[in-house]
Structure 1
Amino acid sequence: MAKVHRARSTSPPDGGWGWMIVAGCFLVTICTRAVTRCISIFFVEFQTYFTQDYAQTAWIHSIVDCVTMLCGLGFALCYSPAIAMVGKYFNRRKALAYGIAMSGSGIGTFILAPVVQLLIEQFSWRGALLILGGFVLNLCVCGALMRPITLEEDHTTPEQNHVCRTQKEGLKQVSPYSSLTKEWAQACLCCCLQQEYRFLLISDFVVLAISILFMAYGCSPLFVYLVPYALSVGVSHQQAAFLMSILGVIDIIGNITFGWLTNRRCLKNYQYVCYLFAVGMDGLCYLCLPMLQSLPLLVPFSCTFGYFDGAYVTLIPVVTAEIVGTTSLSSALGVVYFLHAVPYLVSPPIAGWLVDTTGSYTAAFLLCGFSMIFSSVLLGFARLVKRMRKTQLQFIAKESDPKLQLWTNGAVAYSVTRELDQKHGESVATAVPGYSPT
């Protein structure tokens, strides 16, 4: 096999081959997230064929999503690395690049939803799944587009490089049966892990991780139960599939427009707030859903939910990069998507159990809505507390030292003040003999 050469760059190129990376990530999201969403169309077919209730049938979709986010299996080997690669190639246009790349989920849903319904009618659910499997093989093409890039900030500090290099040289010289070999190997491993996963100790990332759990719990059940819910209120199979298509196409608009808007100068510093707003709006849509029991009412719901779903999905990598930086983005995204696994696993079966128990979708949708709203409120409250604490520290610093002006660089401000005092003392000493500045 040909040797892969890593492109070297001091900073993300924000273009060039990066657009091919975006195209590859775009196709990856179609083959992974869009195909997973279309399992909602198979829900009624599975329920009828296997004669199971909502809770049992929901495990099919939840296990697919859980394994994708939890392991290094199947879709996970394509989805997380593709998203991380976009972050490596873009900095200034990161939100826009992610918006285009993640829009594949919406475009894929828009196209595949009616196509899957036709495939089920023509070839049964078994034949439809077989054809989808052949389509997913395009992931091999996506992998061929992913050209590695090494940035200047990817390198560890000189001290860490020296320690790791010394340990590796020592390992080569020592016998593999020596007791020191094991100790050096463990020390080198700890050094690498400490460098790669140091973001786990950042308080902002911990709060983000907790909020992700609640957000993931809320977002998953809709893609399982939208079609069954539409059928339960008298919508036909084709119209229910049409709702999924609408959700997908508006998802695209949310991906691209929100990515473009948050890249504008007026909103670039408020991407965190935009993420909170999008998650909260999806939660409000959930709370309204039980009152919508006809196709003309479900269409606006699909538009609103789809738009804000595409919006916050685009901003997840941006918000994560804002907290941990570009160097640790790949590992941090791996942790973030790993945290999706447990909610994705349990939320559809819990929602199905609520439907079986209450005979209605109301309790399931309300629980999902409050979960997403709580996720947004938690992050907003944490950011508010952080700003209040920062303001308090600034106030204390001003009170303790009036000469210390808290500019952008406090050290420079203090040195300038000191120089002015010295010059003032020198001028006084010249005018008044015998005076010496203290």
Structure 2
Amino acid sequence: MGQLLNAWRKERNRDRKAANINTEEKRAPSHRTPGWRLGMDDSASFLSGLGFACLYQTAAVMTARYFKKRLALSIAIARSGMGLTFVLAPFTQLLIDIYGWQGTLLIFGGIMLNLVPSSMLLRPINLKYSQDSPCKNKGNESLTHDKHSAAVTDHCDENSSKERELKGGLGQDYIVTSKCQSTGTAGCVVTVDSISLQRPEKDPFNSKSSEPARKTESSCNNLQWAKEKPKSQPAPSNQLLFHLSLLKDPFFCIFTWSFLFSQLAYFIPTFHLAARARTLGIDNMSASYLISVAGITETVSQLLSGWIADQNWTKKYHYHMTYLTLCGITNLLCPLATSFPLLMTYTVAFSIFGGGYLGLLLPVLVDLVGVPRLHSYLGFSSFFAGIAAITGPPIAGWLYDYTQTYACSFLFAGTCALISPISFFFVPLAQKWKLKKEDGLSIITT
């Protein structure tokens, strides 16, 4: 899009210069460029940026709602296309040469409009699970849900118990809590809202008699639900999409700190790698080859890091910290690369570690705050990270102007990458704080 806007700006500036010359020579106001045309560039930049921002966050949140067991790999697949953007530059230039910037904009607009029917497939999920006690299905439980019915089957041993609490009134919701202990499954809590159960109807001839709510114990074999009534309920008033109280949440501060410094450092090597190669006497073709290798390596690295994180060998934020630390060390060693083979080695190493931590950004946030609050946390933290992303390259450019060497830019990027994972050392303290807060609330309610 930058090449398109540059081509657009060149033609606009050409018309503006022609208008200025005509104005100076002929003093004819009719040759001046219209004001609406002068603002089209800024409007296109604003609208495209706004659209991509909304598109990224919505797709990320919906992906997190759909996938549980393979969340990291699914996010890595969704983000892997970002590493292939090096193909977009020559493709865009080819389209501009053939169709001009007007036709190229129409082609890209048609490609983006294909996301509209594909986004219609992202339908909401009605059944919700308790986020405090996640349960892994290993063949012991099966859940079937369609348009007309929802069935929940739990296989437990003899010691398992199921409690059903029926709240009075036909319009009330029913909450079923199922605790089961079996091989590989312990402490599973399933909460189903807005589901009507089959129960005997009241005697129409004896309307005065009112039966109290009963607590029944069902068998451990299965639990059959009746037809579900899909109804859209308004969101509770206490669940806001944006609230300044997020700043008091330690998990938000931990993630935002890391996200901010990682984005502050990420774009600097990408922008200054080719320039540093040219200062070392490397030709432009070889310098562009470094960028292509970086894009391919980053794509493969994201897929591998997502698959490794889903194996649950350790916590996801541990992988995230490791990738960030190695990325910072790699950037600090970049000034030592003074030849093309050494620069290629740096490019591959930086792309591996950079793609590794980029693929785990969303899974780490899901582990910290959960899926229900993901939209607000991701949006607010992305705001600060976006400011850092547009601030990092100008700071690196100022360092080059001051020192006349790109080594300081890579040193600055490496320092920011090493500062980024420091906040994750406070995750255990934040978890203890959360447990104390929940215990205090439970004492107050009881």
TM-score (structure 1 length as normaliser): 0.59
Give 1:376 shift: 1.2
Give 1:194 shift: 7.5
Unaligned runs of 5+ in 2: 14-41, 131-166, 173-234, 437-446
2:117 match: 144
Given the alignment, which residue of 374, 377, 381 partners 2:419? 374
Unaligned runs of 5+ in 1: 1-34, 50-62, 163-187, 394-438
Please tell me whether residue 219 in structure 1 is matched to residue 195 in structure 2. no
1:338 match: 383
Given the alignment, which residue of 73, 98, 104 partners 2:81? 104
- Return the alpha-carbon distance in structure 2 between the equivalents of residues 257 and 211 of structure 1: 22
SS at match of 1:193: coil
Q: 1:145 to 1:250 in 2, by over 3 A?
A: same
Q: Which runs of structure 2 are paired with 1:221-240 in the superposition (5 Å)? A: 221-240=268-287
- Return the alpha-carbon distance in structure 1 between the equivalents of residues 91 and 278 of structure 2: 18
Q: Which runs of structure 2 are paired with 1:25-424 in the superposition (5 Å)? A: 73-109=50-86, 111-112=87-88, 115=91, 119=94, 123=97, 131=104, 134-135=107-108, 137-146=110-119, 147-153=122-128, 191-193=238-240, 200-265=247-312, 267=313, 269-379=314-424, 381-383=425-427, 385=429
Q: 1:88 to 1:201 in 2, by over 3 A?
A: same
Q: Report 1 or 2 for greater relative contact order, CA contacts < 8 Å, sequence distance ≥ 6.
A: 1
Give 1:197 shift: 7.7
Structure with bigger strand share is: 2
Please give the root-mean-square deviation of Cα atoms over the aligned residues, in Å.
4.0
Q: 1:321 to 1:198 in 2, by over 3 A?
A: farther
Give 1:135 shift: 3.2
- Return the alpha-carbon distance in structure 1 between the equivalents of residues 397 and 324 of structure 2: 23
The number of aligned residues is 299
Q: 1:194 to 1:260 in 2, by over 3 A?
A: closer
- Return the alpha-carbon distance in structure 2 between the equivalents of residues 212 and 291 of structure 1: 27
Give 1:273 shift: 0.2
- Return the alpha-carbon distance in structure 1 between the equivalents of residues 356 and 102 of structure 2: 29
Q: Which amino acid aligns with 1:216?
A: Q
SS at match of 1:152: coil
Q: Which amino acid aligns with 1:86?
A: T
Give 1:377 shift: 2.4
Q: 1:123 to 1:196 in 2, by over 3 A?
A: same
> Residues 214 and 375 of structure 1 are in contact (CA less than 8 Å); yes or no, is this contact kept in structure 2?
yes
Structure with bigger helix share is: 1
Give 1:100 shift: 1.0
Give 1:212 shift: 1.6
Q: 1:235 to 1:67 in 2, by over 3 A?
A: farther
Give 1:300 shift: 1.4
Q: Which amino acid aligns with 1:152?
A: L
> Residues 63 and 75 of structure 2 are in contact (CA less than 8 Å); yes or no, is this contact kept in structure 1?
yes
> Residues 250 and 430 of structure 2 are in contact (CA less than 8 Å); yes or no, is this contact kept in structure 1?
no
Give 1:189 shift: 9.3
Q: 1:304 to 1:127 in 2, by over 3 A?
A: farther
Moved more, 135-144 or 224-233: 135-144
- Return the alpha-carbon distance in structure 1 between the equivalents of residues 254 and 429 of structure 2: 12
Per-residue CA deviation, residues 354-395 of structure 1 (Å, 9 max, x unaligned), is 10111011222111111110111232x2135558x68xx9xx
Q: 1:74 to 1:235 in 2, by over 3 A?
A: farther
Per-residue CA deviation, residues 192-239 of structure 1 (Å, 9 max, x unaligned), is 427988655431221211222111111121222222222222222222
Q: Which amino acid aligns with 1:104?
A: G
SS at match of 1:148: coil
Q: Which runs of structure 2 are paired with 1:419-430 in the superposition (5 Å)? A: none
1:430 match: none
SS at match of 2:240: helix
2:443 match: none
Give 1:74 shift: 3.2
> Residues 114 and 242 of structure 1 are in contact (CA less than 8 Å); yes or no, is this contact kept in structure 2?
no
2:197 match: none
Per-residue CA deviation, residues 224-269 of structure 1 (Å, 9 max, x unaligned), is 222222222222222222111111111111111111111114x2x4
Q: 1:133 to 1:275 in 2, by over 3 A?
A: farther
